[in-house]
Structure 1
Amino acid sequence: MSRIFTQIFYVLLLMCTINVAAQAQSITVSGTVKDKQSKEGLAGVSLTIKGQSGGTASTSNGSFSFTTTAKVPFILVASYVGYGTVEQQVTGSTSGINLEMETAVVLGGDVVVSASRTPERILESPVSIERMSAASIREIAAPSFYDALNNMKGVESSTQSLTFKSINTRGFNSNGNTRFNQYIDGMDNQAPGLNFSVGNIVGITELDVDNVELLPGASSALYGAGGINGTLLMTSKDPFKYPGNSFQFKTGINHVNDDNSKVQPFKQLDVRVARSWNNKFGVKAAFSFLQAKDWFGNNYSNFDRVSRTAKSGDRNSDPNYDGINVYGDEVSQNMRNVALSVQNGTIAGINAATGGLIPNIKSTLDGAFGAAIPNAAQQAGFLATLPAALRPTVQNYLPFYVGLKAGLIPDQNISRTGYNEENLVDYDTKSLKASGALYYNISNTVQVVGQANWGTGTSVYTGSDRYSLRNFNIGQYKLELKGEDFFLKAYTTQERSGDSYISSILGSYINEVSKPSTTWFPQYIGNYVGARAAGQTDAQAQAFARSVADQGRFVPGSAQYEVAKDKILNTTISATNINSVDPSKSVYGAKFDDKSNLYHYEGMYNFTNLFNKVVEFQIGASYRLYDLNSAGTIFNDLNESIDIKEYGAFAQIGKKLFNDKVKFTFAGRYDKSQNFEGRFTPRVTGVFTVAKNNNIRVSYQTGYRNPTTQNQYIDLSVGGGSQRLIGGLPEIMFSKYHLDSNKPFTDVSYRAFLASAATGTPNQALLQQYTFDSKGVRPESVQSYELGYKGLILPNLLIDAYGYYNIYKDFITAVDVYQNVNGSFVKFGVPVNAAGKVTSYGAALGLDYLVGKYAISGNVSYNQIGDLPENYINDFNTPKIRYNLGLGNKEIIKNFGFNVSYRWQDQFYWNSSFASGQVPAYSSLDAQVSLRIPSVQSVIKLGGSNVLNKYYFTSYGNPSAGAIYYIAYSFNP
C-alpha cells in the first residue's frame, strides 16, 4: 500500500513541475485598505482575486502588494471580520489602490460547500447545515472553537475528559461516537483502531481554522460509510489568503471549589506562520500546546455489573460493592462457591498426599464429629490425631468445613477492594498539535498541496472501560491536486497508542500482585466464618474479614504500589501470563500496543462548467484500506494480520427550474467493504424559493455505517477481567470462541439463574440459550426525511427551522451472554443487529437577530426516540429539549467587545457499555470581554466557560466539569 502512496506522490510531483503553457504576463497589484469612518489602516484584510486562488493580506498599516498571472480584467475582493466585502475591478498593473471598508454584519451571506460538495449560499442549502467562520471563532467565549460547537443548533457532546469530547447530533449519543464523521481539510480524522475521532486532541489549531461546517443527519450519499448522525468538516487557512505570523497565549485556572483538587493552572500556546511568494508558492506551519489538570472521575455509585445499572450501597454496606469510577473491585466471587472450591481442592490434595489413606477429609471430619459443629478445642484435638505434615492444610480447611456445616457462609458475592480512578489514571492532560503544508499554484485555478498534521496527547477516554490515553499520537499526511472543478488526493492516518492502558485492568492486577485472588478470597471467607462463630453480626464479620484479607494491600502512593503500577502499565495486555501454580511468576499487563493505519485515495470531478451550468453534475470515487496492528492487545491479531478494504463511487446531478425558483438534486453512492455486502445510498433534495432570501427545503437522505473495526475484530478483556469483548464476525464468534457449538445463555436468564441459587440449588432450567446470526453482525442503515425553512424575515432577522424523522434498520447494538466453559460461566460482550426497526424524530428552531451592533441568537432542539424492537437496549442518550442563547457586540465602545453564551439541556437516561444512569438537567454560561489594540495588532480577552462554576456531567460515569477562567493575549489573530 505504501508503494501505491509513493507512486501517487511522484505523479503529483511531476504535475507540480510541469510548466503551464502560455502563461500570462505577471502584474503587480498594490494599495491600502482603510476603515471608511476613522481612515485608519486595517491590518489582516484578505485581498483575493474573485473565483481564483492566490492573494494576500494587508500589513499593520493597511498596505498590500502581490503579483499575479491572472488575466485582466479581474475583480479584487477585500474581506475582513465585521466589515462588508468590497470589490474593485483591476484592468492591469495597478498601484495606489485605495479601498475603504465599512463595518457591517450580513445575515445569511455565508457560502458553504459541504451540503452539496459545491459552493452555494447557506440560505440555498438543500439540507440542514451549521457554520462557524473564522470571524465568529475569534468572538467565542468558550476556551476553544471545538468547545463552542455545543452552541450550534442541535449539537450535543459527551465530555469524557478535559480534551476528549465526542460531538453528536440527532440522538444516539455515545462515548467515542462512531455514528458521526469528522474531517479536517478533506481527511477523515478518525483513529483507525477506534473508528471515531478523538475529539480535537489531534486536530486543527484554533489560529489556523478558516471555517467549520456541520451537517446534522445522514450524509452517506456524498461522504460514504459513517456519518449516520452527522458530519463535521473543518477547513484550515490558505497561506495565500491568510499570510503572516500570529500567536495566542492563554492562561487560566480550573478546579475551582473542587472537592477532588486544589485550584489548578490551565495554559495554552498557539502559533501560526504563513508565507507566499509571487502567488505561486505558499507555506504555512501551526503549533499548539495545552497543559492542564484533567477533570476527576468521581462517581462512586454502586454498580450492578450484570444489569449495568447503579444500585444502593457502598463499600461499608455492600460486601460486593463495585464503584463506577473505582477499579479492581470488578473482581467478584460467590462466598459459598469459594468455600466449596477450597473444600474440593483440599479433599483432592490430601487424597493425593496420603496415597488414598484419607480419600475425603470432609467425610473423615463428619465421622469424627457427627452432626455436631466442632468447637476450637475439638478441632485442636482432631488435628493432633493427624500426621504433622497434614495439620497445616487441614487447619486452613477447618473454617470452611465449619462454615458450610453450620450454614455460616452466605450465598453472597464479595468483591475485592478497588482503587479510585484518580490513583490509576493519568490526569496530567497534555495536547500538542503541529501541522505544516506546502502549496504550489500550477495555474490560477490549479493547486497542489502537501500537508502533514501530527498530534500527541495525554487524556482519558470512556468506552466499555475508562482508558488512560498517555502519549497517544496520530499523524495524518496528505497529497492533493485540486482545481476549480476537480480534486485528487491521497492521505494516510497513522495511529500510535503510545503508553495507553486500561484503568480497570491496572487496578485488578495491582491487587493480584499484592495478594492473588486465589489467596485473598479464601482468607476473607475463613476469617468471616471465624468472626461469625465468635458471635459477630454479618456486617461486623464482613468488615473484619476484609480488614484481614486486605493486609499487605498496596496503598496508593507507597513504594510497593508505584513499582507494581509502573510495571503493569508498561507491560502489554498480550504479554499477560497468569501462573496459577506459582502466582509470583505471573506477568500482568494493562498496556495497549496499537499501531493501526488507514490509507485513503479519492477523486472527484465537477462537470457543471463543461455543461455551461445548464445542470450541475459531479462524480467521484474512493478506495480505503484499514491496516490493523495491535499485537493482540485490542484485536484478534496476535498471530495474524488484519486488513479491511473498502471502495465506493458516487454521482450527483442538480437542476434549477421555473426561473431558478426550484432546484432538485439527486445523488447516489455505492460502497463495498470486503466483509459485507455492497450498499447503495440515494439522496433526493429540493429547494423552493418562496420569496427573495426565503427558501423551503425538503430532503430524503439515506446513510449507513459498517460495523467498526472493533465491532468486527475486537478481542479484549475489560471490567477488570470480568468480561471479554469480541468481534461480531463468524471467524471470532464461532471459529475462536465456539458460540455456535457451545451456545451461551442470555443475560436475563443468567440473572434469573443466579437469583434461584440464593434460595437453594440453582435452577438450570431457567437458563435460555442465545443464538447468533450465522453471518454475524451486519451494516446499519438509516432513512431520513427532513422538511426545513431558512430565510430572512427582515434584513436583520434570520430564521432556520427543520423537522426530521429517521428510520434505522439493523441497528448495531450489543448483547451480553454467558458461556459455560468447563463448569465456569464466561461473560462475553458481542455486537449484534437489533431485530426490527428503530425510529427517532425531532425538530429545531434557530433565530439570529441584529439590533444595531448587537447580535442576539438563540436556538432550541427537540429529539425523541420512537418505536423500539422488543428487547432492544435504549441507548438514545439524548435530552428531549436543549437550547442556547447568545448575546454579543464586537465593539460596544471603541475597540471593546463582549460575548455571552448560555445553554441548558433537560435530564435524560444514559445507557452505555461502561455504565448506565440518570444525567441530571444542567445549564452553563460562557462569557468573555475583549479589548482590541490596533496599534500593535493585538487582542486581549478575559473570559471563562461555565463561569458560574456549576459542576455537571454530560454522560453517566464520566467526570463532572467545572469552570475554566482564562485571560488570553493574541497577536495578529
Structure 2
Amino acid sequence: MKVCRQSLCLLAALLVFFCHNALAQTQHTINGTVTDATTRQALPGVTVSVKGANAGGVTNQNGEFSVRTTQRLPMTLVFSYVGYKPVEQTVTDPSVSVNVQLTSTEILGQEVVVSANRTAQSILDAPVSIEKLDSRTIKASPAPTFYDALANMKGVELSTQSLTFKSVNTRGFNSNGNTRMLQLIDGMDNQAPGLNFSVGNIVGITELDMDNVEVLPGAASALYGPNALNGIVLLNSKSPFQYQGLSANIKSGILSDGGRSKGTTGYYDVAVRYAKAINDKFAFKVNLGYIKADDWQAYDDRDQSLLNGYDLKSGNRSNPGYNGVNIYGDETNVNMYQGLKGTAFTPGNPLSDGILAISGATGGLITPQQIYQAFMPDSARSFVSRTGYNERDLADYETKNLKANVALHYKFNTNLELLAQGSYGTGTTVYTGADRYSIKNFRMGQYKIELRADNFYVRAYTTQERSGDSYAVGTLGQGINEAWSPSREKWFPEYFGNYATQGFGTFATTFQQALQGGQSPAQAFATATAAAKNGSPAFHMAAREFADQDRLMPGTQGFKDAADKIKSKPIPGDANGVGARFMDKTNLYQGEFMYNFKNQISFMELMVGGNYRVYALNSDKTLFALDDNGDEFRINEYGGYVQVGKKLLEDNLKLSAALRYDKNENFEGQFSPRLSAVYTFLKNHNVRASFQTGFRIPHCQDQYIDLLTPQARLLGGLPFLRERYGLNGPNVFSLESIQAGAPKQYNFREFKPEKVEAFEIGYKALISSKLLIDAYVYTNTFKNFNGSQVLVKVTPAGQEVYSVPVNFEKNIKSWGWALGLDYRLPSNFTFGGNVSYNRLLDEESLGGFQAMYNTPRYRYNINFGNRNIARSNFGFNVSWRWQEAFVWSSSFVGPLVRVNNLGEMPAIGALDAQVSYLFVQPKITLKIGGANLTGNKYIQSWGNPTVGTQAYASIGYNL
C-alpha cells in the first residue's frame, strides 16, 4: 500500500495548491432575476456567465442569481438555458439589479457537453460523437423513465433483463451486464464491484434529480481509463444551489403481456426531491425514489439443447434431452445408451438375463450387443435430461427499487465548492448471465467527498456492494431436482430401467411372435427392432412419468421448503446438497484528481489527471480464489493522463491529443493515446476526425473466480489458478478437439487486457438554426479479445471440465456508421430521426471462436413532437424505434446457441408516445403515455424476459 500512501500525499498537496489559487480572488457582486417572457414565471437553472471571464452562476428556484467577479466595468452577462434564446446584457453599475426575460424556442445544437474532453464545450464542435439528454428533453421524452429514453439515441442499444435492469451498449459486442461500457454517476464509477458492470439505474439518480445524460459511443480510455472500451454513459445530478425547493412525482400504470402468469398488472413509481440553499455558502438536497411492480417474465420454452438431433427450430418437449431456454433443472443430462451399456450384459439382472437368453436361443446368431442396440436409441440420440421448472416458479418477479440520496454542498466562493454525497439503493430484480440471477434484496451504496472548481477537482469515493438474498435461478432448479431425487443415484437409474424394461419387453414379445409366425431369426430380429424403435417416444414418456412420481411441484410446501434451503446455501453447495445463493460483499475505493491549467496557460489547453483504485474482493470465500493465507484477494490499479489542445487558423481548427497510462498489479501497463481534430467552417459546420484507443482489464471474476458449477469449474485466467488445478499439463484438451474426435493438448498464451484501436470521421452542422445534422463512420480493431475456453482434463478418476477466460489470437474488426437529423418546424414543432449500422468483419475467419457481437446491423428511430403547442402548455412526443433481426451468441444455461444461426433475435418495432399539460400557477404537470403501444412484444437478448406494453399516467409538482 506504499503507492496508495504516496497517492494520498499527492492528493493532499494538490488540494492545498488548488485551494490557495481559488481563494486568492477579489470579487464584487451583481444580482438579478430571470423570468420566462411568456408566462412571467421565474426560471431556475439558467446559466449566467461573465463574457470573457471564468465567473458565473445559476439562477435559484425563484429565478434569482448572484455573480461575483473581478471583471472591469462595463461587462457583459450572458444568460443561456436549454430551449430558450440566449440573451446578452451589459452591466455598468453592479449595484443595479439586472432583470432579464428569456423567450422559449427550439434551438438545436446548443447543448454544452463535458464528456469529450472533460471540459465544457459546444456539442457542435466536440471532437467525437456525443449524444445528450438534458433535463428538458428528459421531461418530454415518450418513455417511462429517462433510462428507457436512451434507446432513442443514435447508435445506442438497450438490453432489457428486468423492468428495472437494462444494460446500455454501443457499436457491437453487446452483452447482459456489459463490462465494456463505463457508467459514471456524478463522476463515480457506478459498477457493482464484484460484478464489474452497472446494474442499470438501480443505484443511481432519480428522474427528479437528473440534470443531464451524456453518452459517448466508442473507445474513451484515454481520458476515462479501463473498461471504457465500447463507450461511456455520464449521468449528472442537479445542484442544490441551482435547483431548489420541493419537487415530487407520482407515476402509476400497467404492464401488459398475455404470456405472463397474470397478463396485466400494475406498477408504481414515486419520487420526492427537496433542495435548499441556506445562504450563498451552504446548500443541501435529499432524494427518495421507489418503484414497485410485477416484473416482465421470461418464458421462452424453445429447446436449446441441440441434443438427439434436435435444434431450436425442431426441438420441443418431446425431445428426451429437452433443455428449454427459460426452463431450469433440465440442463442436467446423461447419455442413456452409455449409462446402461456397462450393466446390460452382466448376468444376474433381469435385463441382462433376458438379452443373453434371446441371444442363446439363436445360437449366437444375434449377439447381445445387437439386441441391446435394437431396443435402445443409438448413442448420438439417447440423451435424457431431467424435468425442469419454469422460471416464473423459481424467480422473484416482485421487482422493487428504493433509491436514496443526500448531498451537502459548501461554497468557499463562487468558484470553489466542497461537497459530500451519499447514494444508496436496494431492491429486487433479475439479471441474465451464464444463468438467470434473481437479484433479491440487493444493496449498494456510493459515498464521496469532492473539492471542485471550474478548473480542477479532487475526489475520493467508495462503492459498497451487498448481494443480499440473491440466487442463481437455474442452479435453484437443479438443486430442487437433486434434493428430491438425486440424478445419478436415483432419477436416471429409474428412468433408464423403466425405458429398458419397456423397450426390451416390446422387442422380446415381438421377436417371439415373429418366430412363431414362421419368420427366420434374422427376419424376426428386424421385425422386433422396428417395433421397439417405433415405441421409443412412448417409452420415453412413460419412463419420465415413472421417474417423476411424487416430484416436488410449485406451490406445495415441500417445494417451498426445498427451494428455501437451497436459496440459503452459497453456490455451489456442499456434500449435503446444491447451493444457489450468490454471495458478494466486494468494495471499491478510488481517489482521483484533474487539473486544467487554463488560468495559467492561455496559448493552449493543458490538462492532467490521475486515479488510484482498490478492489477488495469478498464473497465469504464462495466465488473467488483464496491466497496462501486463505483470504480473498485485493486488486490495486492506478493511472494518469495528460491532454493538450490548440486552436489554429483563427480558432477554426482545434487540435487535441491525450495520453493515458494505467497499471493493474496483475497485468502489464497500458498506454492509451488519442488524437483528434475539428475544423469549423461557415460558422456552424464542423468536420471531425479522431484516432483513439480503449482497453479493458479483465474484470474481477475473469481474474479470480474459482467456482464449481454443475457444468464446469469456472476459473479466472491468472497463471496461478491454471497451476493450482494442473491445467498446464499434457492431459488437458480443448472441448472442440474432443468433440471432433481428435483430442488436442491446449497450450495457454499470456492472458492480457483487451485493446481496441478506433478511427472515426464525423460531420455535424446546424443549418439556418433549423436543421441539425450529425453523421459519422468508424472502424474498430480489437486485439487480445477476451472469450471463454472450455477445457477437459483427463485424470485416472475421469474427466474434469473447466471454463477459463483466454485471449483470441487474431484481431477482430468491425465498422459502422450513423446519421442523425433533427428539424425545427414552424410553431416549435420538431421532427427528427437517426439510423445506425454496425457490422462485424471477416466473421468466417474466426473459426470456432464466438466473438458474441450480438448487435443488429440496422436500427433507426423517428420522433415528432412539440413541448408547448402554441403556448397552450400542452405538449406531446411520439417516437418509433426499430431494429432488424440478428443472431445472439450466449452460453446461457446451455450451449452456445449461435450454432447454425439458431439463436436469432427477431426484429423489433415499437411505438412510444406521451402527452402532457402544465398548470402554470400550481406548478403541476400531468402526463399520459405508453411504451410499445402497438403491442409487438419482444425479447432484446437471449434468455431475457418478453417485453410487452407499458402504459402510465403521472402527476408532478414543480418539475
Q: Same fold (TM over 0.5)?
A: yes
Answering whether residue 772 of structure 2 is matched by residue 812 of structure 1, we say: no
Contact 1:269 1:288 in 2 (8 A): yes
Instruction: Report the Cα distance in structure 2 between the residues aligned to 1:615 and 1:690, rounded to whole angstroms.
Output: 21
Match in the other structure for 1:700: 691
For 1:759, the equivalent position in structure 2 comes to none
| SS of corresponding position for 1:712 | helix
Among all aligned residue pairs of Structure 1 and Structure 2, give the percentage whose two residues are the same amino acid: 44
Quote the offset at 1:35 in angstroms: 3.4
CA distance in 1, matches of 2:355, 2:773: 88
**Cα distance 1:951–1:269, how it changes in 2: closer, same or farther (>3 A)?**
same
Paired residue for 1:465, among 435, 439, 448?
A: 435
Distance in 1 separating the partners of 2:585 and 2:556: 33
Q: Deviations over 1:629-667 (max 9, x none)?
A: 112332224932211111111111111111112111111
Deviation of 1:312 after TM superposition, in Å, equals: 4.7
Aligned pair partner of 1:770 in 743, 746, 769: 746
SS at match of 2:273: strand
Provide closer, same or farther for how the CA distance between residues 428 and 309 of structure 1 changes in structure 2, counting only shifts above 3 A: farther
Q: 2:538 aligned with 1:550, yes or no? A: no
Counterpart position of 2:700: 709
* Distance change >3 Å, CA 892–CA 10, structure 1 → 2: same
TM-superposed CA distance for 1:473, in Å, is 1.5
Equivalent position of 2:537 in the other structure? 539
Give me the CA root mean square deviation: 3.1
Task: List per-residue Cα deviations over 1:395-442 (Å, max 9, x = no partner).
Answer: xxxxx9999597547531111100011111111111111111111111
Residue in 2 that maps onto 1:507: 477
What per-residue deviation string (whole Å, max 9, x for no partner) do you get for residues 810-854 of structure 1?
111112232324453333222111111111011111111101211
User: Quick one: which of 796, 803, 809 aligns to 1:835?
Assistant: 809
Contact 2:344 2:351 (8 Å CA) reproduced: no
Paired with 2:567 and 2:738, the residues of 1 have a C-alpha distance of: 33
The offset of 1:256, in angstroms, is 4.3
Hey, what's the Cα distance between the residues in 2 that align with 1:295 and 1:820?
43
Q: Aligned equivalents of 1:222 and 1:35: distance in 2?
A: 38
Name the residue aligned to 1:394.
Answer: none
> CA separation in 1, counterparts of 2:655 and 2:41?
45
Does the CA contact (< 8 Å) of 1:617 and 1:653 recur in 2? yes
For 1:57, the equivalent position in structure 2 comes to 60
| Corresponding residue to 1:596 among 572, 586, 592 | 586
Which whole-Å CA distance do the structure 1 matches of 2:355 and 2:948 have between them?
65
TM-aligned CA deviation for residue 169 of structure 1: 0.7
The structure-2 alpha-carbon separation of the partners of 1:85 and 1:406, relative to structure 1 and needing over 3 Å to count, comes to closer
| 2:614 paired with 1:625 | yes
Alignment of 1:310-389 (within 5 A): 310-312=311-313, 316-340=317-341, 361=348, 371-372=357-358
Is 1:970–2:956 an aligned residue pair? Answer: yes
Cα deviation, residue 12, structure 1: 11
User: In the superposition, relative to structure 1, how do residues 258 and 52 fare at CA in structure 2: closer, same or farther (>3 Å)?
Assistant: farther
Q: What is the SS of the residue equivalent to 2:599?
A: coil
Q: Which residue of 1 aligns with 2:31?
A: 29
Write the letter of the residue equivalent to 1:838: I
The one-letter code of the counterpart of 1:490 is A
Q: Which residue of 2 aligns with 1:797?
A: 771
Cα deviation 1:226-265 (Å, max 9, x = unaligned): 1111111111111111111101110000124445423100
Counterpart contact for 1:68–1:279, Cα < 8 Å: no
| Pairing 1:420–2:390 present | yes
The answer to whether residue 574 in structure 2 is matched with residue 577 in structure 1 is yes
Aligned to 2:41: 41
Q: Structure 1's 202 and 275: CA in aligned 2 closer, same or farther, altered over 3 A?
A: same
1:860 aligns with 2:838: no
Is the counterpart of residue 787 in structure 1 residue 761 in structure 2?
yes
The one-letter amino acid paired with 2:744 is Q
Aligned mate of 1:673, from 640, 664, 674: 664
Structure 1 window deviating more from structure 2 (777-786 vs 405-414): it is 405-414
Assess, with a 3 A threshold, how the Cα gap between structure 1 residues 622 and 308 changes in structure 2: closer, same or farther: farther
AA in 2 matched with 1:553:
R
Do the aligned residues in 2 keep the contact of 1:515 with 1:552 (CA within 8 Å)? Answer: no
Question: Cα distance 1:65–1:154, how it changes in 2: closer, same or farther (>3 A)?
Answer: closer
Partner in structure 1 of residue 623 of structure 2: 634
Aligned partners of 1:870 and 1:42: how far apart in 2? 64
Deviations 1:850-873 (A, max 9, x none): 012111111110111113444322
Query: 2:248 is aligned with what amino acid?
Result: F
SS at match of 2:413: coil
SS at 1:608's partner residue? helix
Aligned partner of 2:736 among 733, 739, 748: 748
- Kept after mapping to 1: 8 A contact 2:435/2:473: yes
Give yes or no for the alignment of 1:946 onto 2:908. Answer: no
1:632–1:648 CA distance, 2 compared to 1 (3 A): same
Q: TM-score, normalised by structure 2?
A: 0.89
Distance 1:942 1:127 in 2: 36
Partners of 2:712 and 2:262 in 1: how far apart? 32
Select which of 643, 648, 657 maps to 2:634. 643
SS in 1 for 2:862: strand
Amino acid at match of 2:645: G
Match of 2:304, SS state, is strand
Q: Paired residue for 1:85?
A: 86
Where does residue 819 of structure 2 map in the other structure? 845
Aligned ranges 1:58-207 → 2 under 5 Å: 58-59=61-62, 64=64, 78-80=79-81, 82-89=83-90, 94=95, 97-207=98-208
Distance 2:425 2:317 in 1: 44
Q: For 1:624, give the aligned amino acid.
A: R
**Matched residue, 1:902:** 880
How many residue pairs were aligned? Answer: 903
User: Structure 1 stretch 558-567 or stretch 742-751: which is displaced more?
Assistant: 742-751
Cα 1:856–1:12 shift into 2, 3 Å? same
Alignment of 1:353-502 (within 5 A): 361=348, 371-372=357-358, 408=376, 411=379, 412-502=382-472
Aligned-partner Cα distance in 2 for 1:587–1:370: 39
Contact between 2:597 and 2:605, CA under 8 Å: does it hold in 1? yes
Change (3 A) 1:222 1:66: closer
Aligned residue type for 2:598? T
Conserved in 1, the CA contact under 8 Å of 2:36 and 2:43?
no
Question: What is the distance in 1 between the residues matched to 2:746 and 2:634?
Answer: 30
The answer on whether the counterparts of 2:260 and 2:297 sit within 8 Å (CA) in structure 1 is no
Q: Deviations over 1:370-417 (max 9, x none)?
A: 543799xxxxxxxxxxxxxxxxxxxxxxxx999959754753111110
- CA offset digits 1:316-350 (Å, max 9, x no partner): 42111111111101111111333256679xx8xxx
Return the alpha-carbon distance in structure 1 between the equivalents of residues 848 and 355 of structure 2.
Answer: 53
Of 935, 941, 951, 1:955 maps to 941
**1:450 & 1:598 partners in 2: Cα distance?**
18
Structure 1 residue matching 2:339: 3-state secondary structure: helix
2 CA distance for matches of 1:892 and 1:308? 61
The one-letter amino acid paired with 1:462 is T
- 1-structure distance, mates of 2:159, 2:210: 23
Instruction: For 1:577 and 1:42, locate their aligned partners in 2 and report how far apart those are by CA, in whole Å.
Output: 65
Question: Offset at 1:570?
Answer: 1.4
Q: Is the 8 A contact 1:630 1:637 kept in 2?
A: no
Q: Give the 3-state SS of the residue equivalent to 1:241 in structure 2.
A: coil
* SS of the residue 1:172 aligns to: coil
Take 2:21 and 2:761, find their aligned partners in 1: how far apart are those partners?
50
Does 1:739 pair with 2:732? no
Partner of 1:236: 237
Residue 521 (str. 1) matches residue 492 (str. 2): yes
**CA-CA distance at 1:293 after TM superposition:** 1.2
The aligned residue for residue 653 of structure 1 is: 644
Question: Retained in 1: the 8 A contact 2:692–2:757?
Answer: yes
CA contact (8 A) 2:351 2:500 kept: no
Partner Cα distance (2:377, 2:771) in 1: 73
Q: How far apart, in 1, do the equivalents of 2:184 and 2:729 lie? A: 43
Name structure 2 gaps, 5 residues minimum.
362-367, 507-531, 898-902
Separation of aligned partners in 2, 1:704 and 1:675 = 15
